Structure 1
């Protein structure tokens, strides 16, 4: 998954504004206590981060 695809999926699932807020502010234990942006900067793949978001926010399998 490319970064642009990841950002688009986030916007589709959470809405553009909420997706931006989640990426900047929501710390997830599954990402080692990092936010989305921090995890991506630390080298996590967009797919890893997407799956962590899906698990955290219980996104149905059909939209993962």
Structure 2
């Protein structure tokens, strides 16, 4: 998944401002306790990051974006 696609999905799911807040502030167990921003900076594949978001927010992510 391209980085632009990742951000688009995140913003569609949470809205622009909240998506940026989640990326900076929320640590994900599936990302070894890292935030989205930290994971991107460390070169984690965006598809892996997206799967972590879906796992953490299963009721929030629309089926079409999974």
Other-structure match for 1:63: 65
Spell out structure 1 runs of 4+ moving beyond 6 A: none
The structure with higher relative contact order (CA 8 Å, sep 6+) is: 2
Q: Does 1:40 align with 2:40?
A: yes
Question: Which residue of the partner structure matches residue 2 of structure 2?
Answer: 2
Structure 1 gap segments, 5+ residues each = none
Residue 53 (structure 1) aligns with: 53
Partner of 1:27: 27
SS at match of 1:34: coil
Query: How many residues are aligned here?
Result: 64
What do you get for the CA RMSD once the two structures are aligned? 1.1
Task: For 1:6 and 1:51, locate their aligned partners in 2 and report how far apart those are by CA, in whole Å.
Answer: 11
Q: List runs of 5+ in structure 2 lacking aligned partners.
A: none
What is the CA–CA distance in structure 2 between the aligned matches of 1:24 and 1:34, rounded to whole Å? 10
